[in-house]
Structure 1
Amino acid sequence: MPIEDMFPHGTPIWVDLQSADPPAAATYYRRLFDWEVGPALPETGDFALATARGVAVAALGPLPSADAATAWTAYFSVDDLQAAADAALAAGGSVLLEPGEPVPGIRLAIVADPAGAAFGLWQSREQNDPWLRDEPGAVDWLELVAPEPEAVFGFYESVLGVGVSEMRVGEQPYGLFDVGDTSVAGAYASDGSAPAAWLVYFNVADLDAGVVRATELGGTLRTEPLSAPGVGRWAEIVDPQGAVFALLEPEPEPL
């Protein structure tokens, strides 16, 4: 069970869903991923904690404003929250939620890159809460999807301190954000039909069964299943409230 509790600067540290109907969202994802979803509490900003096998995987909560859209938000660890937010502005991005402590003990901000993709900055602590990763029902991968992702690579280098490298997915180039020798997120060129955004991939043991379950519960298939050697099979889903996410069945590790 991959459980992470150390989050170097620039690495993913958390995801949450901000939804127009948090109770309905909790029901959907609980049934889809067999999550346990706790109560939404005032002291946690009315967010509910979702766990799998007793370990935290995500949080589900309300929209920050009436005009906001239901969406998943990915958060990246930073050593100095204010410095990272300042770097986002200096690099041509915007600050959507000023650095603060909306929940006791958690310092975060929401920013957007110059292409408009929103994500969170989260100040890491010496002792972080454990986060389940790369298991069925848990976050497996994060991906920036934008018409010209290479145009914002410099932004992420400045704000998150990541390096940028490239691989091939099929015949297409695919960007990688690296922390040291580890690739922590990806970047893919979209067709421009949707705004730039960060896409959260959840691990599933069986993609076909996952797609059937996701749609039976009221979600919509956004892309037909795709595959790539060395990666696995995946498909994008729109949940009943309109949030986009992806299911990923990783290619088995070689014996």
Structure 2
Amino acid sequence: MTVHSEQWPAGTPNWVDLSVDDLPAAKAFYTELFGWEYLSGGEEAGGYLLASLGGKAVAGLGPKQGPGMPTVWTTYLASDNADTTAKEVAAAGGQLIAPPFDVMDSGRMAVVADSVGAAFGIWQAGTHIGAERVNEHGSLCWNELHTRDYAAARSFYSDVFGFSYQDINEEGFIYSTFKRPGDGVEVGGVHHDTDIPDGAPNYWLAWLASDNVDATAAKARELGSTLLVPVMDSPFGRMTIVQGPQGEVFGVIATPQTRAQ
């Protein structure tokens, strides 16, 4: 059991959420796929839902807040001060998409883009720390940036979050894990992804754990998903990449046996 109850250290991917056109359909999909249950934040939360497993929050689902918004899973990085981090994003060549604002007493957040155009969220915990259950079936276990602009991206996150990197390079595969400052724990990755189509943005990919990747992939297809990457073995475990029924993309990977938080 991997339950987290304290504020996540700055720089840690600490939350993911999904904005969709059809919220009831998304709820049904992820309930069938991972067994998620939901708690509503009420009218003042704009229909936003906290998805949970065993009573512990794992992700958020909500309706799109405006026309033309993409259907994507957004990765949030923890911050001790969202306003300061937002200023550092701008100073490092990023952009503010939604400047810092309070989310009731849950926390303070911003949505930004890094210097190579990949969008992500900043989350400063209040009563809501972010993910309370991780590294278990149906919960978040890894987040990675896919970018054509590998060196520039790594420089940006070093400047803003103080990340250092551990290279994991093989023939035709350029990748590094990033380590948060303070304790040096590896908490995410950066992939030099040369397969991103021309004109498509760089992006953050969220990975959800599965105790049986083959069964989860089969269930996802049964529920109307497409496998963008077929189920396969990788150095990090058996995995696949799924495009959900409303177009959102996420990874599914074998539940890690051990993973630092």
TM-score class, shorter: over 0.9
Secondary structure at the counterpart of residue 30 of structure 1:
helix
Who is 1:239 aligned against? 244
Amino acid at match of 2:244: D
Q: Distance in 2 between matches of 1:183 and 1:154?
A: 17
Say if 1:97 and 1:202 are closer, same or farther in 2 by CA, change over 3 A: same
Q: Distance in 1 between matches of 2:15 and 2:106?
A: 15
**1:72-99 Cα distance to aligned partner (Å, 9 max, x none):** 1111111111111011111111110110
Secondary structure at the counterpart of residue 116 of structure 2:
coil
Equivalent residues in 2 for 1:85-96, closer than 5 Å:
85-96=86-97
1:186 maps onto 2:213 in alignment: no
Say if 1:127 and 1:41 are closer, same or farther in 2 by CA, change over 3 A: closer
Contact 1:9–1:161, Cα closer than 8 Å, also in 2? no
Following TM superposition, by how much is the alpha carbon of 1:226 offset from its aligned partner in structure 2, in angstroms? 3.2
Q: Distance in 1 between matches of 2:145 and 2:131?
A: 24
**127-136 or 9-18, which deviates more:** 127-136
1:200 maps onto 2:210 in alignment: no
What is the number of residues matched between the two proteins?
252
Contact 2:106–2:126, Cα closer than 8 Å, also in 1? no
Please, what TM-score do these two structures have when normalized by structure 2?
0.90
Say if 1:126 and 1:42 are closer, same or farther in 2 by CA, change over 3 A: closer
Say if 1:129 and 1:198 are closer, same or farther in 2 by CA, change over 3 A: closer
Who is 1:97 aligned against? 98
Say if 1:236 and 1:43 are closer, same or farther in 2 by CA, change over 3 A: same
Q: Distance in 1 between matches of 2:142 and 2:90?
A: 26
Contact 2:107–2:127, Cα closer than 8 Å, also in 1? no
Secondary structure at the counterpart of residue 159 of structure 1:
helix
Who is 2:153 aligned against? 152
Following TM superposition, by how much is the alpha carbon of 1:102 offset from its aligned partner in structure 2, in angstroms? 3.1
Following TM superposition, by how much is the alpha carbon of 1:130 offset from its aligned partner in structure 2, in angstroms? 5.9
Can you give the 5+ residue segments of structure 2 that lack an aligned partner in the other structure? none
Who is 1:108 aligned against? 109
- State the percentage of identical aligned residues: 35
Please, what TM-score do these two structures have when normalized by structure 1?
0.92
Amino acid at match of 2:136: E
Q: Distance in 1 between matches of 2:256 and 2:132?
A: 22
**206-215 or 143-152, which deviates more:** 143-152
Contact 2:105–2:126, Cα closer than 8 Å, also in 1? no
Secondary structure at the counterpart of residue 74 of structure 2:
strand
Can you give the 5+ residue segments of structure 1 that lack an aligned partner in the other structure? none
Who is 1:228 aligned against? 234
1:21 maps onto 2:27 in alignment: no
Q: Distance in 2 between matches of 1:154 and 1:94?
A: 15
Following TM superposition, by how much is the alpha carbon of 1:44 offset from its aligned partner in structure 2, in angstroms? 2.2
Secondary structure at the counterpart of residue 120 of structure 1:
strand
Following TM superposition, by how much is the alpha carbon of 1:233 offset from its aligned partner in structure 2, in angstroms? 1.3
Following TM superposition, by how much is the alpha carbon of 1:125 offset from its aligned partner in structure 2, in angstroms? 4.7
RMSD: 1.9
Following TM superposition, by how much is the alpha carbon of 1:45 offset from its aligned partner in structure 2, in angstroms? 2.9
Following TM superposition, by how much is the alpha carbon of 1:11 offset from its aligned partner in structure 2, in angstroms? 0.7
Contact 1:116–1:196, Cα closer than 8 Å, also in 2? yes
Who is 1:11 aligned against? 12
Secondary structure at the counterpart of residue 247 of structure 2:
coil
Following TM superposition, by how much is the alpha carbon of 1:224 offset from its aligned partner in structure 2, in angstroms? 1.5
